[in-house]
Amino acid sequence: MIRKLTLILSIALFFGCNSNTETQTEKSSMKEEMKTTQTPAEYTLVIHGGAGTIKKENLTPEKEAGIKEAIEAALTKGESILKSGGTSIDAVEATIMILENSPHFNAGKGAVFTNEGKNEMDASFMDGNTQNSGAVAGVTNIKNPIRAARAVLEKSDHVMLAREGAENFAKEQGIETVDPAYFYTEHRWESLQKAKKKGLGSVISEDPIDYKFGTVGCAALDKHGNLAAGTSTGGMTNKKYARIGDSPIIGAGTYANNNTCAISSTGHGEYFIRYVVAYDISAMMEYGGKDFQTAANYVVKEKLKAAGGSGGIIGVDKYGNVAMPFNTAGMYRGYVKPGERVIKFYEE
Ligand code: ASP
Protein backbone atom coordinates (compact mmCIF):
# COMPACT_ATOMS: atom_id res chain seq x y z
CA MET A 1 0.00 0.00 0.00
CA ILE A 2 2.75 2.41 1.07
CA ARG A 3 4.78 1.50 -2.03
CA LYS A 4 1.72 2.20 -4.20
CA LEU A 5 1.23 5.62 -2.61
CA THR A 6 4.91 6.51 -3.02
CA LEU A 7 4.68 5.56 -6.69
CA ILE A 8 1.61 7.76 -7.27
CA LEU A 9 3.29 10.62 -5.41
CA SER A 10 6.48 10.42 -7.45
CA ILE A 11 4.53 10.29 -10.73
CA ALA A 12 2.53 13.35 -9.65
CA LEU A 13 5.71 15.16 -8.59
CA PHE A 14 7.42 14.32 -11.86
CA PHE A 15 4.60 15.72 -13.99
CA GLY A 16 4.14 18.69 -11.66
CA CYS A 17 7.80 19.73 -11.84
CA ASN A 18 7.92 19.12 -15.51
CA SER A 19 4.91 21.25 -16.35
CA ASN A 20 6.24 23.94 -14.03
CA THR A 21 9.55 24.01 -15.84
CA GLU A 22 7.76 24.24 -19.15
CA THR A 23 5.66 27.17 -17.99
CA GLN A 24 8.75 28.95 -16.78
CA THR A 25 10.55 28.44 -20.07
CA GLU A 26 7.48 29.56 -21.97
CA LYS A 27 7.20 32.62 -19.77
CA SER A 28 10.80 33.64 -20.17
CA SER A 29 10.75 33.18 -23.92
CA MET A 30 7.55 35.25 -24.08
CA LYS A 31 9.22 37.91 -22.01
CA GLU A 32 12.20 37.85 -24.34
CA GLU A 33 9.95 38.17 -27.35
CA MET A 34 8.02 41.09 -25.83
CA LYS A 35 11.22 42.82 -24.88
CA THR A 36 12.59 42.77 -28.40
CA THR A 37 9.37 43.79 -30.11
CA GLN A 38 8.69 46.46 -27.50
CA THR A 39 11.88 48.31 -28.15
CA PRO A 40 13.04 47.89 -31.73
CA ALA A 41 14.41 51.41 -31.43
CA GLU A 42 16.94 51.46 -28.63
CA TYR A 43 15.79 54.95 -27.63
CA THR A 44 13.85 57.80 -29.18
CA LEU A 45 13.30 61.42 -28.19
CA VAL A 46 10.90 63.82 -29.89
CA ILE A 47 10.25 67.51 -29.19
CA HIS A 48 8.12 70.46 -30.26
CA GLY A 49 8.52 74.20 -29.86
CA GLY A 50 4.91 75.09 -30.64
CA ALA A 51 2.54 75.04 -33.60
CA GLY A 52 0.86 77.93 -35.37
CA THR A 53 1.25 80.35 -38.25
CA ILE A 54 4.81 79.28 -38.82
CA LYS A 55 5.78 80.16 -42.39
CA LYS A 56 9.21 80.75 -43.87
CA GLU A 57 8.29 84.27 -45.00
CA ASN A 58 7.40 85.23 -41.41
CA LEU A 59 10.75 84.23 -39.93
CA THR A 60 13.89 86.33 -40.17
CA PRO A 61 17.00 84.24 -40.89
CA GLU A 62 18.34 85.15 -37.42
CA LYS A 63 15.17 84.03 -35.70
CA GLU A 64 15.07 80.83 -37.73
CA ALA A 65 18.71 80.13 -36.86
CA GLY A 66 18.12 80.86 -33.16
CA ILE A 67 15.18 78.47 -32.99
CA LYS A 68 17.07 75.78 -34.87
CA GLU A 69 20.07 76.15 -32.60
CA ALA A 70 17.92 75.73 -29.48
CA ILE A 71 16.18 72.67 -30.95
CA GLU A 72 19.55 71.14 -31.90
CA ALA A 73 20.88 71.74 -28.39
CA ALA A 74 17.75 70.25 -26.82
CA LEU A 75 17.90 67.12 -28.99
CA THR A 76 21.61 66.70 -28.29
CA LYS A 77 21.08 66.95 -24.54
CA GLY A 78 18.17 64.52 -24.54
CA GLU A 79 19.98 62.04 -26.72
CA SER A 80 23.12 62.07 -24.58
CA ILE A 81 21.04 61.08 -21.54
CA LEU A 82 19.19 58.29 -23.34
CA LYS A 83 22.29 56.99 -25.09
CA SER A 84 24.11 56.52 -21.82
CA GLY A 85 21.20 54.54 -20.37
CA GLY A 86 19.51 57.44 -18.54
CA THR A 87 15.77 57.46 -17.91
CA SER A 88 13.14 58.97 -20.17
CA ILE A 89 12.11 61.19 -17.23
CA ASP A 90 15.61 62.68 -16.92
CA ALA A 91 15.82 63.15 -20.69
CA VAL A 92 12.43 64.88 -20.94
CA GLU A 93 13.23 67.24 -18.07
CA ALA A 94 16.69 68.23 -19.33
CA THR A 95 15.46 68.69 -22.90
CA ILE A 96 12.55 70.90 -21.90
CA MET A 97 14.77 72.99 -19.61
CA ILE A 98 16.92 73.94 -22.59
CA LEU A 99 13.85 75.16 -24.48
CA GLU A 100 12.53 76.95 -21.38
CA ASN A 101 15.84 78.80 -21.04
CA SER A 102 15.66 80.04 -24.64
CA PRO A 103 13.80 83.32 -25.29
CA HIS A 104 12.47 81.91 -28.57
CA PHE A 105 9.74 79.75 -27.09
CA ASN A 106 6.61 80.52 -25.13
CA ALA A 107 7.81 78.75 -21.99
CA GLY A 108 10.13 79.80 -19.18
CA LYS A 109 12.28 82.73 -20.37
CA GLY A 110 10.16 83.48 -23.46
CA ALA A 111 6.72 83.15 -21.82
CA VAL A 112 3.96 85.43 -23.11
CA PHE A 113 2.30 88.14 -21.03
CA THR A 114 -1.14 88.08 -19.44
CA ASN A 115 -3.55 90.99 -19.78
CA GLU A 116 -2.15 92.32 -16.49
CA GLY A 117 1.38 92.28 -17.88
CA LYS A 118 2.52 89.21 -15.93
CA ASN A 119 3.97 85.85 -16.97
CA GLU A 120 1.92 82.95 -15.66
CA MET A 121 3.28 79.56 -16.64
CA ASP A 122 1.92 76.01 -16.73
CA ALA A 123 3.74 72.68 -17.03
CA SER A 124 3.08 68.97 -16.68
CA PHE A 125 4.95 65.69 -16.57
CA MET A 126 3.90 62.04 -16.85
CA ASP A 127 5.74 58.80 -16.24
CA GLY A 128 4.47 56.09 -18.60
CA ASN A 129 5.76 53.29 -16.41
CA THR A 130 3.86 54.17 -13.23
CA GLN A 131 1.21 56.57 -14.61
CA ASN A 132 2.39 59.01 -11.94
CA SER A 133 1.83 62.58 -13.03
CA GLY A 134 2.64 66.08 -11.87
CA ALA A 135 1.63 69.57 -12.95
CA VAL A 136 1.87 73.21 -11.93
CA ALA A 137 -0.41 75.99 -13.15
CA GLY A 138 -0.16 79.77 -13.09
CA VAL A 139 3.33 79.97 -11.59
CA THR A 140 5.20 83.26 -11.83
CA ASN A 141 8.65 82.84 -10.29
CA ILE A 142 9.86 79.31 -11.04
CA LYS A 143 12.71 79.48 -13.53
CA ASN A 144 11.96 76.06 -15.02
CA PRO A 145 8.32 75.11 -14.44
CA ILE A 146 8.98 71.61 -15.83
CA ARG A 147 11.20 70.91 -12.81
CA ALA A 148 8.35 71.86 -10.50
CA ALA A 149 5.98 69.57 -12.44
CA ARG A 150 8.44 66.70 -12.02
CA ALA A 151 8.72 67.43 -8.30
CA VAL A 152 4.92 67.24 -7.97
CA LEU A 153 5.07 63.88 -9.76
CA GLU A 154 7.83 62.46 -7.60
CA LYS A 155 7.58 64.20 -4.26
CA SER A 156 3.91 64.96 -3.59
CA ASP A 157 0.69 63.01 -3.15
CA HIS A 158 -1.02 65.20 -5.71
CA VAL A 159 -1.18 65.67 -9.45
CA MET A 160 -1.68 69.41 -9.85
CA LEU A 161 -0.67 72.40 -7.73
CA ALA A 162 -1.51 75.99 -8.65
CA ARG A 163 -0.19 79.52 -8.29
CA GLU A 164 1.28 80.49 -4.88
CA GLY A 165 0.82 77.01 -3.46
CA ALA A 166 2.78 75.51 -6.32
CA GLU A 167 5.47 78.17 -5.89
CA ASN A 168 5.78 77.42 -2.15
CA PHE A 169 6.02 73.71 -2.86
CA ALA A 170 8.73 74.26 -5.47
CA LYS A 171 10.69 76.43 -3.06
CA GLU A 172 10.47 73.74 -0.39
CA GLN A 173 11.85 71.27 -2.91
CA GLY A 174 14.86 73.52 -3.54
CA ILE A 175 13.81 74.38 -7.09
CA GLU A 176 15.30 77.60 -8.41
CA THR A 177 13.07 80.66 -8.23
CA VAL A 178 13.73 84.00 -9.93
CA ASP A 179 12.44 87.54 -9.82
CA PRO A 180 9.44 87.60 -12.21
CA ALA A 181 11.31 90.32 -14.15
CA TYR A 182 13.53 87.47 -15.45
CA PHE A 183 10.70 86.46 -17.80
CA TYR A 184 10.50 89.85 -19.53
CA THR A 185 11.29 89.81 -23.25
CA GLU A 186 10.68 92.78 -25.46
CA HIS A 187 9.02 90.88 -28.28
CA ARG A 188 6.47 89.29 -25.96
CA TRP A 189 5.77 92.64 -24.35
CA GLU A 190 5.16 94.18 -27.76
CA SER A 191 2.81 91.33 -28.67
CA LEU A 192 0.74 92.12 -25.60
CA GLN A 193 0.58 95.81 -26.52
CA LYS A 194 -0.48 94.93 -30.07
CA ALA A 195 -3.13 92.52 -28.84
CA LYS A 196 -4.54 95.14 -26.50
CA LYS A 197 -4.50 97.82 -29.17
CA LYS A 198 -6.33 95.59 -31.59
CA GLY A 199 -8.83 94.77 -28.88
CA LEU A 200 -8.09 91.06 -29.16
CA GLY A 201 -9.00 88.60 -26.43
CA SER A 202 -6.53 85.88 -25.50
CA VAL A 203 -4.56 85.47 -28.65
CA ILE A 204 -2.91 82.51 -30.18
CA SER A 205 -2.70 82.78 -33.90
CA GLU A 206 -4.18 85.94 -35.42
CA ASP A 207 -0.86 87.60 -36.06
CA PRO A 208 1.73 85.49 -37.84
CA ILE A 209 4.71 85.74 -35.59
CA ASP A 210 3.81 87.58 -32.44
CA TYR A 211 1.12 85.34 -31.13
CA LYS A 212 2.12 81.95 -32.45
CA PHE A 213 1.85 79.33 -29.78
CA GLY A 214 5.49 78.50 -28.96
CA THR A 215 4.76 76.05 -26.16
CA VAL A 216 7.44 73.38 -25.71
CA GLY A 217 7.19 69.66 -25.12
CA CYS A 218 9.12 66.42 -25.21
CA ALA A 219 8.37 62.70 -25.25
CA ALA A 220 10.94 59.94 -24.87
CA LEU A 221 11.43 56.19 -24.88
CA ASP A 222 14.49 55.04 -22.95
CA LYS A 223 16.65 51.91 -23.17
CA HIS A 224 14.64 50.33 -20.36
CA GLY A 225 11.43 50.53 -22.43
CA ASN A 226 9.94 53.33 -20.33
CA LEU A 227 8.03 56.23 -21.82
CA ALA A 228 7.67 59.76 -20.40
CA ALA A 229 6.33 63.09 -21.62
CA GLY A 230 6.30 66.71 -20.49
CA THR A 231 4.96 70.08 -21.63
CA SER A 232 5.71 73.67 -20.58
CA THR A 233 4.05 76.94 -21.62
CA GLY A 234 3.33 80.58 -20.90
CA GLY A 235 -0.20 80.01 -22.25
CA MET A 236 -1.89 82.66 -24.40
CA THR A 237 -0.93 86.30 -24.89
CA ASN A 238 -3.36 88.68 -23.15
CA LYS A 239 -5.03 85.90 -21.13
CA LYS A 240 -7.25 86.98 -18.24
CA TYR A 241 -8.93 85.57 -15.13
CA ALA A 242 -6.07 83.14 -14.37
CA ARG A 243 -6.92 81.23 -17.57
CA ILE A 244 -5.26 77.82 -17.67
CA GLY A 245 -4.88 75.89 -20.93
CA ASP A 246 -4.30 72.24 -21.75
CA SER A 247 -0.55 72.17 -21.12
CA PRO A 248 -0.80 71.26 -17.41
CA ILE A 249 -3.79 68.96 -17.94
CA ILE A 250 -2.89 65.26 -17.93
CA GLY A 251 -4.64 63.56 -20.83
CA ALA A 252 -5.03 66.78 -22.82
CA GLY A 253 -1.59 68.46 -22.94
CA THR A 254 0.54 65.54 -21.77
CA TYR A 255 0.09 61.79 -21.57
CA ALA A 256 2.37 58.77 -21.22
CA ASN A 257 1.54 55.10 -20.90
CA ASN A 258 4.05 52.27 -21.38
CA ASN A 259 1.31 50.20 -23.06
CA THR A 260 0.81 52.75 -25.83
CA CYS A 261 2.69 56.03 -26.29
CA ALA A 262 3.97 59.30 -24.81
CA ILE A 263 2.60 62.62 -26.11
CA SER A 264 2.97 66.38 -25.69
CA SER A 265 0.41 68.73 -27.28
CA THR A 266 0.51 72.31 -28.49
CA GLY A 267 -2.25 74.49 -29.83
CA HIS A 268 -5.51 76.11 -28.83
CA GLY A 269 -5.73 74.68 -25.33
CA GLU A 270 -9.48 74.88 -24.85
CA TYR A 271 -10.00 72.43 -27.73
CA PHE A 272 -7.28 70.09 -26.50
CA ILE A 273 -9.02 69.94 -23.13
CA ARG A 274 -12.48 69.37 -24.62
CA TYR A 275 -11.26 66.59 -26.88
CA VAL A 276 -8.80 65.12 -24.33
CA VAL A 277 -6.44 64.93 -27.27
CA ALA A 278 -3.39 63.12 -25.89
CA TYR A 279 -5.40 60.45 -24.08
CA ASP A 280 -7.76 60.05 -27.03
CA ILE A 281 -4.83 59.00 -29.21
CA SER A 282 -3.62 56.54 -26.58
CA ALA A 283 -7.16 55.14 -26.16
CA MET A 284 -7.49 54.54 -29.90
CA MET A 285 -4.35 52.42 -29.63
CA GLU A 286 -5.24 50.65 -26.41
CA TYR A 287 -8.89 49.86 -27.11
CA GLY A 288 -9.11 50.23 -30.86
CA GLY A 289 -5.89 48.50 -31.85
CA LYS A 290 -4.78 51.43 -34.03
CA ASP A 291 -1.11 52.13 -34.62
CA PHE A 292 0.32 55.37 -33.22
CA GLN A 293 0.58 57.32 -36.45
CA THR A 294 -2.93 56.42 -37.62
CA ALA A 295 -4.42 57.37 -34.26
CA ALA A 296 -2.43 60.63 -33.98
CA ASN A 297 -3.22 61.72 -37.54
CA TYR A 298 -6.91 60.99 -37.12
CA VAL A 299 -7.28 62.92 -33.85
CA VAL A 300 -5.23 65.97 -34.92
CA LYS A 301 -5.95 66.26 -38.63
CA GLU A 302 -9.55 65.12 -38.69
CA LYS A 303 -11.35 65.15 -35.36
CA LEU A 304 -9.69 68.23 -33.81
CA LYS A 305 -9.58 70.12 -37.09
CA ALA A 306 -13.26 69.50 -37.81
CA ALA A 307 -14.07 70.88 -34.37
CA GLY A 308 -12.08 74.07 -35.11
CA GLY A 309 -9.16 73.26 -32.80
CA SER A 310 -5.77 74.23 -34.21
CA GLY A 311 -2.45 72.77 -33.15
CA GLY A 312 -0.49 69.55 -33.15
CA ILE A 313 1.13 66.87 -31.05
CA ILE A 314 4.47 65.11 -30.94
CA GLY A 315 5.07 61.70 -29.49
CA VAL A 316 6.66 58.31 -29.51
CA ASP A 317 5.09 54.89 -29.08
CA LYS A 318 6.39 51.95 -27.10
CA TYR A 319 8.27 50.68 -30.17
CA GLY A 320 10.03 53.99 -30.80
CA ASN A 321 7.78 55.08 -33.68
CA VAL A 322 7.45 58.85 -33.93
CA ALA A 323 4.34 60.88 -34.84
CA MET A 324 4.31 64.68 -35.24
CA PRO A 325 0.99 65.65 -36.88
CA PHE A 326 -0.35 69.23 -36.86
CA ASN A 327 -3.20 71.07 -38.56
CA THR A 328 -1.61 74.55 -38.60
CA ALA A 329 0.81 76.08 -41.13
CA GLY A 330 3.79 74.75 -39.20
CA MET A 331 5.12 73.29 -35.99
CA TYR A 332 8.69 73.50 -34.66
CA ARG A 333 9.55 69.86 -34.20
CA GLY A 334 12.31 67.29 -34.25
CA TYR A 335 13.32 63.84 -33.14
CA VAL A 336 16.38 61.78 -32.56
CA LYS A 337 16.96 58.02 -32.43
CA PRO A 338 20.13 55.96 -33.05
CA GLY A 339 21.59 57.12 -36.36
CA GLU A 340 18.70 59.47 -37.15
CA ARG A 341 18.06 63.15 -36.45
CA VAL A 342 15.26 65.19 -38.00
CA ILE A 343 14.31 68.86 -37.50
CA LYS A 344 11.37 70.45 -39.32
CA PHE A 345 9.42 73.69 -39.07
CA TYR A 346 6.97 73.79 -41.93
CA GLU A 347 4.60 71.45 -43.73
CA GLU A 348 6.48 68.68 -45.59
N1 ASP B 1 -1.70 74.90 -25.55
C2 ASP B 1 -1.24 76.14 -24.96
C3 ASP B 1 -2.37 76.78 -24.24
O4 ASP B 1 -3.49 76.76 -24.72
C5 ASP B 1 -0.72 77.09 -25.96
C6 ASP B 1 0.27 76.51 -26.90
O7 ASP B 1 0.36 75.32 -27.09
O8 ASP B 1 1.01 77.30 -27.47
O9 ASP B 1 -2.14 77.34 -23.20
pTM for the predicted model, two decimal places: 0.87
pLDDT at position 213: 67
Alpha-carbon distance of 213 to 50, in angstroms, equals 5
pLDDT attached to residue 346: 87
> What b-and-e string marks burial along 59-75, b requiring 16 or more CB atoms within 10 Å of the CB?
beeeeeeebbebbeebb
What are the per-10-residue average pLDDT scores of the chain (348 residues)? 48 40 35 42 95 78 91 98 98 98 96 97 98 98 98 98 98 98 95 86 52 84 98 96 97 98 96 98 98 98 96 97 95 96 89
> Both 33 and 85 in a single domain?
no
Whole-angstrom Cα distance, residue 214 to residue 212?
Answer: 6
Q: Which of 246, 275, 310, 313 for mutating ligand 1's site (highest number of atoms within 8 Å of CB)? A: 246
Report, as residue numbers or ranges, the catalytic residues: 215
Phi, psi torsion values for 329, nearest 5 degrees: -65, -35
Same domain? For 133 and 274 the reply is yes
Instruction: State the residue range of the domain holding 5.
Output: 1-37
Cβ–ligand 1 distance for 269 under 6 Å, the answer yes
Do 57 and 27 lie in one domain? The reply is: no
Per-residue confidence (pLDDT) for residue 209, from 0 to 100: 43
pLDDT of residue 74: 98
Distance 84 CA to ligand 1 centre (A): 32
> pLDDT value at position 41?
84
Same domain, 31 and 49: no
Residues 106 and 26 both lie in one domain: no
Under the phi-then-psi rule, with left for phi > 0, alpha for psi from -120 to 50, and beta for the rest, what region is 328? Answer: beta
Residue 198 pLDDT? 83
Instruction: Confirm if 298 and 284 have CB atoms less than 8 A apart.
Output: yes
- The pLDDT of residue 208 is 45
Decide the pairing of beta strands 261-267 and 254-256.
Answer: antiparallel
Closest residue to atom 4 of ligand 1, CA basis: 269
Please report the pLDDT score of residue 133 as a whole number.
98
Angle at 326 between CA 223 and CA 186, to 5 degrees: 95
- Regarding whether 52 and 31 lie in a shared domain, the answer is no
Asked if 194 and 274 sit in the same domain, the reply is: yes
What total of structural domains would you count in the chain?
2
So what's the pLDDT on residue 21?
34
Is the domain of 225 the same as that of 179?
Answer: yes
Same domain, 12 and 108: no
Q: Are residues 24 and 75 in the same domain?
A: no
Q: Assess whether 12 and 142 both reside in one domain.
A: no
Phi, psi of 328 (to 5 degrees): -105, -175
What pLDDT was estimated at residue 25?
34
Q: For residue 43, what pLDDT is reported?
A: 97
